[in-house]
Homo-oligomer: A and B are copies of this chain.
Amino acid sequence: MTTTNHDKATATTATGPGWTKVSCPCCVSERVEPLVLVKLGEKVRPETKRWLIKLIGTPQKEGGAALLAHPGEDATGDIIMVSAPRCTLLQATEELGLCKTYNTGEMETFSYDDRDNFRHSGKQIFLTLAERQYIIKYELEGLRARRDVRIPGLADNYTLQHRDNIWQKMTSAGVVVETFPLHNRARLKELSKSWYSGNQLSQPLDSVNAYFGSTVGFYFSFLDFYTWSLLPPAILGLCITYFSMAGSQAEIHEEDAGLTASGHMIQAVFSMLWSTVFMELWKRRSSSQSYRWGTLHLAERFAEPRPGFHGHLGMNPVTGRMEPLFPEWQRDLRMALVSIPVVGLFLGMVVLGMLCFYWGENQVMWLHDGWDSMVSQTLLYAPSVLHIVYTNMLATVYKRVAQSLTEFENHREESAFQNHLTAKVLVFTFFNYFAVLFHIAFVKQDVPLLRKRLASLLIVTQLVNQVTEVVVPFLVDHFISAPHRTETEDDPEEDKFRNQITLPVFPGLFAEYIELLVQFGYLSLFSCVYPLTAVLLLINNVMEIRSDAYKICKLFRKPFSAPAANMGVWQIAFEILSFVAVVSNCWLLTLSPQLQRMHHEGQMSNTDIVLMAILAEHVLIVVKVIVAALIPDEPEWVRKKRAHMQYTSMQALRQQVSTIAVHSLLLQDK
C-alpha cells in the first residue's frame, strides 16, 4: 500500500540468497527463515514452477500473495519454500483481528496504521511462529485470479478464470501436492525439553501456543486443566474405596455399613456438582487464555466454499457473485435418505454387538459354573474384552463412512462440513461407548456387572489407546522410517526441510478430543458405581499429556493451526455430557445398595424411591443451571478488556469514517 515508484528502485537489494525480492523497503532483511514448504507434483514443468514463485512474490495489489519464495536447491526441484515479509504479516494480522500488546501494556486489536504504537511490532517476535505460518497459508489460499490467465506449462483446461481460487486450482491440477509448515529444530528442541522430557508437572502452554498455534494450545490447556481437576474426585474415590473395604472386612458394625452405602450417594452428587463447576471454571480459564493469546476479538470473515464443494453455476444471493450453488433442499434430501439410514444401520450394528456380548457372557458363565478353574475365571473377562475390540473396530470403520457421508452431503462451508461430521461421530460415539453401560444400568439393573464392565473398559481402552497412538508410530518411526532418513549436521538446510515431507501428516485433534470426552463420560455418568474411575483416569492422563506432546513434536509433520478463541464445538459436547450426567446419576442412585436395602426391609416402597429420584433429578438440574449462571463464563477482568476492545474498535471505525469525509473535502477543495 505504501509503495510508490521511487520506493521500488531501492527495494532491489537482496533479502537472502535465492529468495524473491520484496517491494517494500521496510521489509528488506538479511536473513529469511523458511516457514512453509510447498511440495510440487513430480511432473511439474520448470516454467510452471517459475510462474508460481513469481505469483507468490508479486504484491497484493497486482494480484499476488506478497510473500517470499525460494526454489529450493534449483529451479527444477519439486519444492518451493515460502516465507513472509513484515508488511504482509502485519496487514494480515489486522485482517484476522488478532490482538497484540499495545505500548500501554494492554492487549489491543492490532491496527496496521497504528503499528508503531504496538510493542515489538518491528521485530520477528511480534508474531508467533504459528501465526506467521498460518498467515502464509491464509495468503496462499486466498489467491484469486484477477483476469483469465493461461498457466505456463499446463494444459488448457487448467486456464484460470476471473476470480478463480488459484491455490485450489493448482491443487486439483496436481501442481501443488502439499503445503505444510516447517519445524524449527532449535525451538522444537527447547520446547520438548520444557514440555515432556523432564519431570515437570506443568506444561509450557504459552510456548506450545507460540509454536503450534492456539488450536493445539487449547487442547493441551484443556487436557492439563482436566487432569488436575481429576484430583478431588480421585481423592474422594480413594477414600470411599478404603472405607468400603474396611467396611466389608468388619461387616458387624451397622453404622460402618451405612457409611459405606452412602458413599455411593456422596459420589453421585459430588460428580454432578463437580462436572458443572469444572466446565464453568474451564470456560473462565479458556477466556483468560484467549486474552493472553490475542484471540479474544477475532474478525469474522465471509467463508469461501470448501475445495470439495460442487454445484451448478449461479449467482450467490449473499455476495452477488457467480459461483457453484447447491440447493438446500437437495442437501436435506441426501441427509434424510442416505446419511440418517446409514448412521442408523451402524447404530443397529452396535446393538447387534451388544446382543452377542450378552450371549457370550451367558456362555462363559455357564462354562465357569461347570468347570471352576483359573482358566474359566480368566475366560469370564473374554466377552467384555472381545466386545471392546469389536466396538473399537466399528468406530474406526464408522469414522471413514461418516467422512464420506458428509462429503456426499456437499456442504458449502468448511465449518458446516466439520459440524456435520462431528455431530455424526459424536452420536455414534455416545451410542457405541455408552449404550451397553446404560443397558446394564437401567434395564438389567445389575450394579456388579456394571462395575466389572467399567473397570475392564477403563483399563483395556486406555492400554489399547496408548499402544496404537504412541508405541506403534514410535516403533515405525524408529525402525522402519528412520534408517532412510539419516541426517547429519553437514546436510544442506534444504535437505533437512525436505526430510519433513517423509513424516506422516498430523491426524488432527479429533480423536484426542473424542478420547477425553469418552473418559469424561465414564467419570461423570457412572463413576458412583466404580469410585476408582477418577484415579485410573488421573494416572492415564498424566501419561497422556507426555505421549501427546511427544507425538505432536516428533512423530508427525507440524500442522497448521488457525487462531481460535476456545475449544469450539467440543465445549458444547462436554456440556451436554455433564447435563446427561445429572439424569444418569439420579437414576443410578435408585440402585444404590442403601436404598435397595431399605426397600427390602420395607421402609420405602418402590414408588417412594422413584419419586425421590425424580425430585432429586429436578432439583439438581435446577441447581446445576443456577450454579452455571452464577459463575460468570469470563472473569471480570476479561469481560472489561473485551468491552474495552469492542469500544476502541467502534471508536476507530467512527474515526475512519470521519477521516474519509475530511479527506474527500480536502480533495474536492484542491
A residues apposed to B, CB below 8 Å? 1-2, 4, 113, 300-302, 317-320, 328, 583, 605-607, 610-611, 614, 618, 636, 640-641, 643-644, 646-647, 650, 653, 656-661, 663-667, 669-670
Inter-chain contact A660/B661, CB cutoff 8 Å: no
Q: Given A318-B640, A640-B318, A660-B656, verify A666-B667 contact (CB < 8 Å).
A: yes
Q: A605 to B606: give the CA distance in the assembly, Å.
A: 10
Residue of B nearest to A641 (CB): B317
Q: A2-B665, A317-B641 are in contact. List 16 more A-B contacts (CB 8 A).
A: A4-B669, A301-B650, A302-B650, A317-B640, A317-B644, A318-B644, A319-B647, A583-B618, A605-B606, A605-B607, A653-B653, A656-B660, A659-B663, A660-B660, A660-B663, A663-B667
Q: A130 to B614: give the CA distance in the assembly, Å.
A: 51
Q: Identify which of B319, B647, B664, B669 contacts A302 (C-beta below 8 A).
A: B647
Q: Identify which of B606, B607, B663 contacts A663 (C-beta below 8 A).
A: B663
A-B contact pairs, 27 of them (CB 8 A): A1-B658, A1-B665, A2-B661, A2-B665, A4-B669, A113-B660, A300-B646, A300-B650, A317-B640, A317-B641, A317-B644, A318-B640, A319-B644, A320-B644, A605-B607, A610-B610, A610-B614, A614-B614, A653-B653, A656-B656, A656-B657, A656-B660, A659-B660, A659-B663, A660-B663, A663-B663, A670-B670
Mostly, the A contact residues are helix
Inter-chain contact A1/B661, CB cutoff 8 Å: yes
Residue of B nearest to A587 (CB): B614
Inter-chain contact A4/B665, CB cutoff 8 Å: yes
**In the complex, what residues of B have CB within 8 A of residue A113's CB?**
660
**In the complex, what residues of B have CB within 8 A of residue A641's CB?**
317
Q: A636 to B318: give the CA distance in the assembly, Å.
A: 12
**In the complex, what residues of B have CB within 8 A of residue A646's CB?**
300, 302
Inter-chain contact B1/A647, CB cutoff 8 Å: no
Inter-chain contact A636/B4, CB cutoff 8 Å: no
**In the complex, what residues of B have CB within 8 A of residue A656's CB?**
656-657, 660
**In the complex, what residues of B have CB within 8 A of residue A300's CB?**
646, 650
**In the complex, what residues of B have CB within 8 A of residue A666's CB?**
667
Residue of B nearest to A618 (CB): B583
Q: Identify which of B301, B607, B644, B658 contacts A606 (C-beta below 8 A).
A: B607
Residue of B nearest to A655 (CB): B660
Residue of B nearest to A669 (CB): B4
CB of A444, distance to nearest CB on chain B (Å):
16
Q: A660 to B661: give the CA distance in the assembly, Å.
A: 10
Q: A584 to B302: give the CA distance in the assembly, Å.
A: 44
Q: A607 to B4: give the CA distance in the assembly, Å.
A: 85
Inter-chain contact B328/A636, CB cutoff 8 Å: yes
**In the complex, what residues of B have CB within 8 A of residue A660's CB?**
113, 656, 659-660, 663
Residue of B nearest to A303 (CB): B643
Residue of B nearest to A657 (CB): B656
Q: A4 to B665: give the CA distance in the assembly, Å.
A: 9
**In the complex, what residues of B have CB within 8 A of residue A610's CB?**
607, 610-611, 614
Q: A657 to B111: give the CA distance in the assembly, Å.
A: 11
Residue of B nearest to A3 (CB): B665
Q: A141 to B128: give the CA distance in the assembly, Å.
A: 46
Q: Identify which of B318, B611, B614, B659 contacts A643 (C-beta below 8 A).
A: B318
Q: A1 to B659: give the CA distance in the assembly, Å.
A: 11
CB of A668, distance to nearest CB on chain B (Å):
9
Residue of B nearest to A644 (CB): B318
Most buried by B among A614, A661, A666: A614
Q: A495 to B92: give the CA distance in the assembly, Å.
A: 62
Q: A354 to B224: give the CA distance in the assembly, Å.
A: 53
Q: A665 to B113: give the CA distance in the assembly, Å.
A: 13
Residue of B nearest to A670 (CB): B670
CB of A215, distance to nearest CB on chain B (Å):
24
**In the complex, what residues of B have CB within 8 A of residue A611's CB?**
610
Q: A606 to B614: give the CA distance in the assembly, Å.
A: 14
Residue of B nearest to A610 (CB): B610
Most buried by B among A302, A647, A657: A657
**In the complex, what residues of B have CB within 8 A of residue A650's CB?**
300-302
CB of A340, distance to nearest CB on chain B (Å):
12
Residue of B nearest to A668 (CB): B4
CB of A558, distance to nearest CB on chain B (Å):
31
CB of A604, distance to nearest CB on chain B (Å):
12
CB of A280, distance to nearest CB on chain B (Å):
17
**In the complex, what residues of B have CB within 8 A of residue A644's CB?**
317-320
Residue of B nearest to A663 (CB): B663
Q: A665 to B4: give the CA distance in the assembly, Å.
A: 9
Residue of B nearest to A613 (CB): B614
